[in-house]
């Protein structure tokens, strides 16, 4: 009996040892797996362009820029975002949705309030001015001829295409709140088309959309003419939300301010109707703040506050 007990005990110890040895690789594998670092996903950001054009044309104009940035800033994935109208766009920036913005100068001031900062100006300042389009047979020769007539604009917050034209009319003898009927039609193209369709006698816009309209609709544009233009101001800005990592901000800024140095990037700029991206910062737009202050004092509030 004693011998059988010893044999049985040895067998039990052997089985236990074997089980412990069999479980050891599994234990090591588990520990090795837990030490592995998860692969971090590339962050995705949106570049929101204010409604320069309708969404389809906006994509045609700016998608090559987005593709170029994605090739040269591999630390992120950038996507283009269009907006239906100015008010939708302004709601997005106030909610700090898109990480990257290309707003007009008035929207630039609003975006600063919620945590965006200027890193560039899109285009030459000389190209940022309001222009007035009318039919060639309209009979409109001076601003006074507009009394009692309809004038179209993209939006009441469009700086070059509404605020600056209305200030121009104000300084040329028109009370824009009483002498004319102002209609806000949603987009630059719509402001021009309202003139062509005889829904407004004059349409306000700014040079890039007018140049594009002439390319896209030559027959319609041939029946229209530019009659007045405002003095220039600062052009649209490029802004980045303050929480975007610095390495991405720096690379993004370098990429866009170097556009135009090669044939490929010159084509990207031409596609956007933009001469180049100039380095800029928040202080650059202080003169816009002063212009808006004067406009709101003399003409109307930009928004109904």
Per-residue confidence at 305, pLDDT binned at 50, 70, 90? low
Question: Per residue in 77-118, pLDDT tens?
Answer: 999 999 989 999 999 999 999 999 999 999 999 999 999 999
Q: Is the dihedral of CA 9, 15, 19, 22 positive or negative?
A: positive
CA dihedral 285, 291, 292, 295 (to 10 degrees): -170
pLDDT of residue 12: 42
Q: Quick one: which of 4, 11, 19, 303 has its CA closest to 162?
A: 303
Q: Is the pLDDT of residue 25 over 50?
A: no
Per-residue confidence at 53, pLDDT binned at 50, 70, 90? confident
pLDDT of residue 218: 97
For all residues of the chain together, what is the average pLDDT? 89
What angle separates helix 55-72 from helix 263-271, to the nearest 10 degrees?
Answer: 150
Asked if CATH classification 3.40.190.10 holds for the domain at 44-124+235-298, the reply, yes or no, is yes
pLDDT of residue 55: 87
* Annotated domain spans of the chain: 44-124+235-298, 131-229
CA distance linking residue 97 with residue 13, whole number of Å? 66
pLDDT top residue among 51 and 8:
51
Q: How far is CA 299 from CA 64, 181, 234, 237, 295, in A?
A: 39, 14, 20, 25, 5
The answer to whether the pTM exceeds 0.75 is: yes
Q: Quick one: which of 249, 231, 230 has its CA closest to 240?
A: 249
CB atoms within 10 A of CB 305: 5
pLDDT of residue 6: 41
Q: Matching CATH topology for 44-124+235-298 and 131-229?
A: yes
| DSSP H or E stretch at residue 193 | helix 188-196
pLDDT of residue 17: 41
**Span 223-244, mean pLDDT?**
97
pLDDT of residue 52: 85
**Span 48-65, mean pLDDT?**
92
Topology adopted by domain 131-229 = D-Maltodextrin-Binding Protein; domain 2 (3.40.190)
Q: Is the pLDDT of residue 20 over 90?
A: no
Per-residue confidence at 140, pLDDT binned at 50, 70, 90? very high
Q: Is the pLDDT of residue 261 over 60?
A: yes
Contacts of 100 (CB under 8 A, 6+ apart): 45, 46, 47, 48, 78, 238, 239, 240, 241, 244, 252
Q: Is the pLDDT of residue 27 over 60?
A: no
Greatest CA separation found in the chain? 127
């Amino acid at each position: 009996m004693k011998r059988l007990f010893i044999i049985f005990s040895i067998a039990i110890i052997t089985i236990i040892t074997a089980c412990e040895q069999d479980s050891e690789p599994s234990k090591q594998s588990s520990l090795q797996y837990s030490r592995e670092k998860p692969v971090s996903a590339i962050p995705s950001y949106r570049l929101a362009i204010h409604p320069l054009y309708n969404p389809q044309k906006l994509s045609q104009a700016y998608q090559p820029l987005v593709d170029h940035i994605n090739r040269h800033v591999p630390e992120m994935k950038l996507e283009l975002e269009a907006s239906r109208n100015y008010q939708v766009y302004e709601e997005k920036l106030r909610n700090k949705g898109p990480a990257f913005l290309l707003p007009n100068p008035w929207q630039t001031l609003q975006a600063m309030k919620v945590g965006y900062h200027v890193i560039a100006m899109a285009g030459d300042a000389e190209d940022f001015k309001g222009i007035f389009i009318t039919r060639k047979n309209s009979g409109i020769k001076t601003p006074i001829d507009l009394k009692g007539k309809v004038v179209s604009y993209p939006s009441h917050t469009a700086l070059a295409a509404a605020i600056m034209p209305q200030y121009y009319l104000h300084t040329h003898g028109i009370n824009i709140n009483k002498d004319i009927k102002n209609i806000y039609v949603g987009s630059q193209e719509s402001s021009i088309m309202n003139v062509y369709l005889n829904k407004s006698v004059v349409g306000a816009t700014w040079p890039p959309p007018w140049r594009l309209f002439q390319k896209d609709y030559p027959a319609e544009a041939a029946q229209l003419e530019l009659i007045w233009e405002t003095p220039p101001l600062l052009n649209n800005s490029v802004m980045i939300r303050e929480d975007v990592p610095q390495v991405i901000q720096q690379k993004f800024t370098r990429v866009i301010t170097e556009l135009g140095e090669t044939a490929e990037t010159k084509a990207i700029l031409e596609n956007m109707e933009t001469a180049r991206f100039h380095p800029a910062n928040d202080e650059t737009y202080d003169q816009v703040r002063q212009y808006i202050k004067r406009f709101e004092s003399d003409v109307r509030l930009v928004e109904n506050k």
